[in-house]
Amino acid sequence: MILRKILRKIISWSMTDLQNVIFDKTVMFAPYSQVSNSKIGKRSSIGRYSKVTHTDIGMYCSISWDVTINAVSHDYTLISTHSFLKRPDLGGFVEEDNRHYDKVTIGNDVWIGAHSVILPGVKIGDGAIIGAGSIVTRDVESYSIVAGNSAKFLRWRFDKQIISELKEIKWWLWEDSKIKHNINFFTTPLTMKSIQELKANNCTDHL
């Protein structure tokens, strides 16, 4: 069983394209994912066939399959939108790669649904949800749910009071031992009562 898990991980890594990526050892990369020039936080996961570049991703983020983050823009004000004017490997018309990337920033505990596209420069707040198939062209607020092409606000995940408490708690900074100690907080629907019980047990300090 252990050997099988090791082999599965080796095979998965062999089918993953990582270039200049800083990531925590708990990060999961699905086969055929491509990540470059990015940072990825604790326990975040990148789905199969997803492509990520020039992006900072926080902790506990769930990036589904076939997601594109920081899709390259093409300058439509020039005579051609083709990349041969920016890449030396496309005919040798330029000496250096002069493509420009506006970094995408993704907070913590963010869920991005399958087939979504996040455009350059977008900032996604903690706890946000991006619906499957969305094209995200502008910043997304913390704990909001957006979807569509282009993505529009649908609703908040929780009411304002709970969101305010979650921004203060920042549970993703907790050590594993603290999460295990308060596992009921994660396995039942979130309410102000459960948050108050958590605070009453003096568990909101960051370890």
Closest by CA to 126, choosing from 144, 153, 114, is: 144
Domain ranges of the chain: 2-149, 158-207
pLDDT confidence tier of residue 146, bands split at 50, 70 and 90: very high
Position 138 scores a pLDDT of 98
Closest by CA to 53, choosing from 35, 65, 40, 41, is: 35
Position 207 scores a pLDDT of 41
Residue 131 pLDDT exceeds 60? yes
Q: Share the mean pLDDT of the chain.
A: 90
Task: Determine whether 82 is an active site residue.
Answer: no
The string of DSSP codes covering the chain is -HHHHHHHHHHHHHT-EEEEEEE-TT-EE-TT-EEEEEEE-TT-EE-TT-EEESEEE-TT-EE-TT-EESPPP--TTSS---GGGT-TTTTSSSSS-----PPEEE-SS-EE-TT-EE-TT-EE-TT-EE-TT-EE-S-B-TTEEEEEBTEEEEEESS-HHHHHHHHHH-GGGS-HHHHHHTHHHHHS---HHHHHHHHHTT--S--
CB 123 within 8 A of CB 143: no
Q: How far is CA 163 from CA 4, 17, 153, 169, 192, in A?
A: 42, 36, 16, 10, 10
Residue 12 pLDDT exceeds 80? no
Residue 206 pLDDT exceeds 60? no
Residue 202 pLDDT exceeds 90? no
Closest by CA to 72, choosing from 55, 57, 95, 89, is: 55
Tokens of 153: 């606000």
Q: What is the pLDDT of residues 62-71, one digit of tens each?
A: 999 999 999 8
Is-above-0.85 flag for pTM?
yes
Hunting for tokens 């051609």 — which residue is that? Answer: 80
Mean pLDDT of 141-170: 97
Q: Which CATH architecture best describes the domain 2-149?
A: 3 Solenoid (2.160)
β-bridge pairing 104-106 and 123-124:
parallel
Position 190 scores a pLDDT of 94
Residue 14 pLDDT exceeds 70? no
Catalytic residue among 74, 82, 100, 181: 74
Residue 143 pLDDT exceeds 90? yes
Closest by CA to 121, choosing from 135, 145, 133, 139, is: 139
Give every CB contact of residue 2 below 8 A, 6+ residues apart in sequence. none
Q: What is the pLDDT of residues 98-125, one digit of tens each?
A: 778 899 999 999 999 999 999 999 999 9
